[in-house]
Amino acid sequence: MNIGKAFTFAFEDQDWLKKIGIAGLVMLIPLIGQITVMGWAIEVTRRVINRETETLPDWSAFGDYLVKGLKLFVISLVYALPIILLSLCVNLPLSFFQDSGDQATITTIMAISICINCVVAVFAFALAFVLPAAFGKFAATDELGAAFRFKEVFGLVRAAPGAYLLALVGALAASVVAILGLFLCCIGVFLTLAWANVIQSHLWGQAYNEATGNTGM
């Protein structure tokens, strides 16, 4: 794993400012923009996995990026379903009984909710490892179904837990970088968010290669 490479490779592209600038502008489009940039960034993952030249994708395939982004959204939604369902199990009963005045019931529900929230936290932590592996399977095959071959996806994480941990740490660092965009006026945060997407996508590709032994050595 080369975390530093994930942060710097974009600047090796002579058109990096233009490409990231376009990505920043696309992100200004509510929802569709963010989904499209996800699809654009996953192309970086594919290039890393396939050992192609690590330049930033251009924006000539906007429609393709949108489709890929929508697929990534579906993958994320499916993997997050346990968290969503558990959260509903906590919040719906609590909101129903909180105005009832039945303090004993409310206390019981709150105690249960604390336990469920602990389980949700465990799921969320596991998801931070598993979801990048699922994205890697999708990027490597360009098949939506590949991301749901759960045995293979979990196998990637088991094969290289350290790599996926480093990818997680790198993604968190990229999030900090994205926050710095708040100091560059409104458009600045979209530029740094686009760059953060590129960083984490590069790390996902590296982690996938570590897990599959495709290290190029």
Is 217 part of a structural domain of the chain? no
- The answer to the question of residue 58 being in a domain is yes
Q: Which residues contact 193 (CB under 8 A, 6 or more apart)?
A: 24, 27, 37, 178, 181
> pLDDT by residue (tens digit) across 75-86?
999 999 988 888
Q: How many domains does the chain have?
A: 1
Phi, psi of 141 (to 5 degrees): -110, -20
Classify residue 132 by burial, with Cβ atoms within 10 Å: 0-12, 13-18, 19+. Answer: buried
69 close to 37: Cβ distance less than 8 angstroms? yes
Identify whether 153 is part of a domain: yes
Q: Is residue 95 part of a domain?
A: yes
| 89 within a domain of the structure (yes/no) | yes
Q: What is the pLDDT of residue 99?
A: 61
Site of tokens 């799921």: 123
Contact 25, 62 (CB under 8 A): no
Tell me the pLDDT of the chain (217 aa) as tens digits.
888 999 999 999 899 999 999 998 998 899 999 999 999 999 999 999 998 877 899 999 999 999 999 999 999 999 999 888 887 777 666 666 556 556 666 677 677 778 877 888 888 899 999 999 999 999 999 999 999 999 999 999 999 999 999 999 998 888 887 777 666 555 567 888 899 999 999 999 999 999 998 655 4
What is the model's pLDDT at position 107? Answer: 74
Gap between the Cα atoms of 123 and 134, Å rounded: 15
> Exposed (0-12), middle (13-18) or buried (19+): which is 178, by Cβ within 10 Å?
buried
- Domain for residue 69, yes or no? yes
| Cα–Cα distance for residue pair 59/181, rounded to 1 Å | 22
Structure tokens at 55: 């330049």
Are 27 and 57 a contacting pair, CB within 8 Å? no
pLDDT in tens, 27-84: 889 999 999 999 999 999 999 999 887 789 999 999 999 999 999 999 999 999 988 8
* 17 in any annotated domain: yes
Q: Which domain holds residue 89?
A: 3-212
Residue 102 is predicted with a pLDDT of 61
